[in-house]
Amino acid sequence: MSLPFNPADIKALALDLDGTILGPGAVLSGRTLRVLAALRDRGLQLIIATGRAVEAAERFRAPLGAEGPSIYFNGALVVDMPERRVLDSTLLDPGVVDFCVDISRRRKAYFQVFFPETAACPSDTKRPGNRLLAEWGGPERDMYHNHTGILAEIGDLKEALTAPGLRGCIKGMFLAEPEMQDTLRAEIEERFGKSVYISQTLRTFLEIMDAGVSKGEGLKKVLEYRGLKAAEVIAFGDEENDLPLFAAAGFSVAPANAKESVKAAANVVVGSNAEDGVAAWLEEIGI
């Protein structure tokens, strides 16, 4: 197989979870686990690069044995694992969240917000405790709980935004059908333009973060902490939020189930996540 890189030069894999190394239903297969764990044992660094919260990714990170600085919340937090020490954070202006709450109430669109419970800053050595809050329950809240294991608390988001010492939020999320997402995205972009980063991360997930947030920016920070060069890293992803990750890595791989724009940007397209495409490709190239 002709490869756009020398396998001997690769020192790390930046791994998206959902839709990439996880199969349908967010399952880490035995094959994928064995392949990645074997690469880790041979000295390859495994970098988690996910939109999930730390808590929601832990059931996959722990069995993989992926340690060191990794990317959570699409890059809003860079966290040293397994100590869960926050190394870097980029928080969303509460004013943006307030505007999204207004939209949510007016359009009856489910919206939830991750609030940092500890001082999420480069000097923080505490374990990050991140509070998820929504204003009402329903199928969207239940679906997110089933997908991630995190159940949003019910409360007044406007009141939460007035908490003393709040510097910002980690991210806001609308859970809505793609047609509604287009409307929501247009309204937010009209008000805030390029000062926010909006990304569809799963079919019904529309995430709103600070403009400085992306998996690509997160990877740049991670490489600095780990002493790696971009050319030593392969990035794996399937959604639009993985495009910045591809740009920050030396090489990129997308599964066959990825969005067309993601496959077009990737150096290599492999089998789908339902077929353990990433694991099969890694086995084939003998990295």
Which tens digit of pLDDT belongs to each residue from 14-55? Answer: 999 999 999 999 999 999 999 999 999 999 999 999 999 999
DSSP 44-76: PEEEEB-SS-HHHHHHHHHHHT--EEEEEGGGT
Residue 137 has pLDDT above 90, yes or no: yes
DSSP 161-213: TT-TT---BSEEEEE--HHHHHHHHHHHHHHHGGGEEEEEEETTEEEEEETT-
Query: Three-class SS of residue 235?
Result: strand
Per this entry, what is the length of the chain?
287
Note if the pTM is more than 0.75.
yes
Bond before 4 cis per omega within 30 degrees:
no
Tokens of 84: 């869960």
Q: What pLDDT is stored for residue 128 in this prediction? A: 45
Tokens of 280: 């099969």
Q: What pLDDT is stored for residue 118 in this prediction? A: 52
Backbone angles phi, psi at 266, to 5 degrees: -75, 150
Structural contact between residues 152 and 133, judged by C-beta atoms closer than 8 angstroms: yes
Structural contact between residues 235 and 49, judged by C-beta atoms closer than 8 angstroms: yes
The pLDDT tens digits of the residues spanning 150-199 come to: 999 999 999 999 999 899 999 999 999 999 999 999 999 999 998 999 98
Rg (CA), the chain: 18
Rounded alpha-carbon distances, angstroms, from residue 173 to 86, 92, 112, 167, 236: 21, 12, 5, 18, 23
